[in-house]
């Protein structure tokens, strides 16, 4: 919800505005009322409303002076002027000062509604640009530009230079707006990920709202100083996916602990080398037990996944690639860590029991041609080896083997190149945001998209877009 301040020296006018329209239907929430320009200025500096609806003629500082003073300091605040017919000339002057519209007294619901729609569209466009700037400032450079980050936070009422902060990440398919009355800076970091940065003093009040929100995962970091913000965002992201380990969707703050995965994985590697199914099963059971306590993180799960895949390639020549590039993709492929370990165990056992190269040689060339054509036509969709293996009736490890043998590159490299090339084409379109380009190219995480794009092209998506205007 966008925040609104109502300003008029006559209380009945404020109440009339307050009750004449369903503000929430337009995406707004009234957070304050003021009866003078001076009172309004103090409120704006402290609470950072997104929209101010103000009278023009008031004792002391009038509405025009209020608009000039606020916009000179913070051009992000939107103003709508409330005036009578006799003050129409002043209303026109307010538009020149930066107001986006005016409503005549007595108020008509459709006039207020038109102003609210215009304000919301302006604010949503600005928020998208702020998200991109925030992401670039924190993650698009070798060193974050914390002075600019501080400016963005301050514009939303988060006092990064005075207070410690908290970071909360919420996962949800619809990303329904949270209705909270504390200052926050939010940014969308993926199709279903929203990050909130708040003052630490507001943490408990904010979390009460989060706990009642129907999210599919949430994580947080607390007592954060400005220079710790980048790491805190990443830590909250890891915690938000902790349901992958526990199987329960809750609000998590995870402090990584040391677990002896290496010993269990070393035993598994030896068992694979011996093709000992009993020892392999035991190693998988021990790993499952390690995760049962809930102290390990989703990053641990991803590391274990990569190690098992590596050992399967090395000890069994299964040719399984690391098709899953990060822990978020892991969560989209498997329901939880137990599901992941069970599936990997099945693949290893099936390979040892029944896999022979001769069974597949007959379909080799025709199959890889069909698979390559399918990937070329569908790379922008959420496709992976598991889906392709089902479509073409071959095992995932054999798809990996064929792709590497016939195409000269592994499946991940091939599809990433297609997606980055397509993203470069889309970035020439000025009407698409970088978030839209990321999603249309098949990437579900903006941080990952930025990292891979820069790795391939040498530029962040924002830098590429500016260079090719």
Let me know whether 22 and 78 are in one domain.
yes
Predicted TM-score (pTM) of this structure = 0.60
CATH number at residue 196: 3.30.70
Q: List pLDDT tens digits, range 157-189.
A: 888 877 899 999 998 766 556 667 788 888 888
Residue 149 lies in a domain: yes
Let me know whether 82 and 18 are in one domain.
yes
Q: Which residue has better confidence, 424 or 229?
A: 229
Residue 170 lies in a domain: yes
Q: List pLDDT tens digits, range 414-469.
A: 888 888 888 888 887 667 788 888 888 888 788 888 888 888 888 888 888 888 76
What do you get for the CA distance between the two ends of the chain, in Å? Answer: 33
Cα–Cα distance, 37 to 211 (Å, whole number): 38
pLDDT over 60 at 363, yes or no: no
Let me know whether 26 and 50 are in one domain.
yes
Let me know whether 122 and 157 are in one domain.
no
Let me know whether 28 and 123 are in one domain.
yes
**Strand ranges (E), 39-104:** 51-55, 78-83, 101-104
Contacts 24+ apart (CB under 8 A), 453-459: 453/420, 453/423, 454/140, 456/416, 456/417, 456/420, 457/420, 457/424
Cα–Cα distance, 96 to 77 (Å, whole number): 15
Residue 196 lies in a domain: yes
pLDDT of residue 362: 41
Choosing from 127, 158, 178, the residue where a domain stops is 127
pLDDT over 90 at 242, yes or no: yes
Q: Number of folded domains in the chain?
A: 3
Let me know whether 168 and 115 are in one domain.
no
CATH number at residue 30: 3.40.50.2300
Q: List pLDDT tens digits, range 368-414.
A: 788 888 888 788 788 888 888 888 877 777 777 777 887 777 888 88
Choosing from 235, 252, 269, the residue where a domain stops is 252
Let me know whether 12 and 115 are in one domain.
yes
Let me know whether 123 and 8 are in one domain.
yes
User: What is the span of the domain harbouring residue 449?
Assistant: 415-467
Q: List pLDDT tens digits, range 265-320.
A: 998 998 888 777 778 888 999 999 989 877 789 999 999 999 999 898 888 877 76
Cα–Cα distance, 177 to 168 (Å, whole number): 14
Rounded (10°) angle between helices 385-392 and 396-407: 100
Cα 215 to Cα 199, 210, 219, 381: the distances in Å are 22, 8, 11, 25
Contacts 24+ apart (CB under 8 A), 266-270: 268/308, 268/311, 269/311, 269/314, 269/315
pLDDT of residue 236: 94
Let me know whether 6 and 120 are in one domain.
yes
Choosing from 225, 252, 279, the residue where a domain stops is 252
């Amino acid at each position: 919800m966008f925040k609104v301040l109502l300003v008029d020296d006559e209380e009945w006018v404020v109440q009339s505005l307050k009750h004449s329209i369903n503000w929430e239907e337009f995406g707004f929430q009234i957070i304050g009322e003021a009866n003078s320009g001076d009172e309004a200025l103090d409120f704006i500096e402290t609470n950072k409303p997104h929209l101010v609806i103000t009278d023009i003629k008031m004792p002391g500082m009038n509405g025009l002076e209020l608009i000039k003073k606020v916009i000179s300091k913070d051009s992000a605040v939107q103003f709508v002027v409330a005036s009578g017919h006799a003050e129409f000339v002043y209303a026109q002057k307010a538009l020149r000062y930066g107001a986006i519209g005016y409503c005549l007294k007595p108020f008509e619901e459709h006039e207020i509604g038109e102003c609210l729609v215009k304000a919301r569209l302006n604010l949503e466009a600005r928020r998208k640009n702020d998200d991109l700037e925030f992401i670039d400032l924190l993650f698009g450079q070798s060193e974050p530009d914390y002075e600019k980050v501080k400016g963005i936070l301050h514009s939303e009422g988060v006092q990064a230079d005075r207070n410690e902060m908290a970071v909360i990440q919420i996962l949800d398919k619809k990303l329904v707006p949270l209705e909270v009355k504390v200052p926050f800076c939010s940014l969308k970091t993926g199709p279903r990920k929203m990050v909130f940065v708040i003052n630490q003093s507001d943490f408990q009040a904010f979390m009460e709202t989060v706990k009642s929100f129907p999210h599919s995962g949430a994580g947080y970091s607390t007592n954060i100083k400005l220079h710790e913000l980048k790491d805190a965002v990443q830590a909250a992201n890891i915690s938000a996916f902790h349901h992958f380990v526990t199987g329960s969707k809750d609000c998590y703050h995870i402090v990584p602990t040391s677990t002896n995965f290496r010993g269990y994985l070393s035993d598994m590697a030896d068992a694979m080398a011996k093709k000992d199914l009993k020892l392999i099963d035991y190693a998988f059971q021990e790993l499952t037990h390690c995760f049962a306590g809930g102290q390990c993180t989703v990053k641990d799960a991803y590391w274990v996944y990569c190690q098992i895949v590596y050992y399967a390639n090395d000890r069994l020549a299964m040719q399984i690639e690391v098709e899953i590039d990060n822990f978020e993709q892991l969560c989209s492929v498997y329901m939880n860590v137990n599901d992941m370990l069970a599936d990997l165990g099945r693949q290893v056992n099936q390979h040892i029991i029944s896999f022979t190269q001769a069974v597949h040689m007959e379909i080799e060339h025709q199959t890889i041609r069909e698979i390559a054509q399918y990937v070329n036509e569908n790379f922008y969709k959420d496709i992976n080896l598991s889906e392709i293996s089902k479509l073409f009736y071959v095992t995932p490890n054999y798809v990996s083997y064929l792709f590497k043998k016939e195409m000269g590159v592994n499946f991940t490299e091939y599809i990433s190149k297609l997606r980055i090339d397509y993203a470069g084409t889309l970035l020439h379109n000025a009407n698409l945001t970088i978030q839209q380009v990321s999603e249309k190219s098949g990437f579900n995480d903006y941080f990952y998209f930025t990292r891979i794009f820069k790795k391939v092209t040498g530029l962040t998506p924002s830098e590429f877009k500016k260079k090719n205007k």
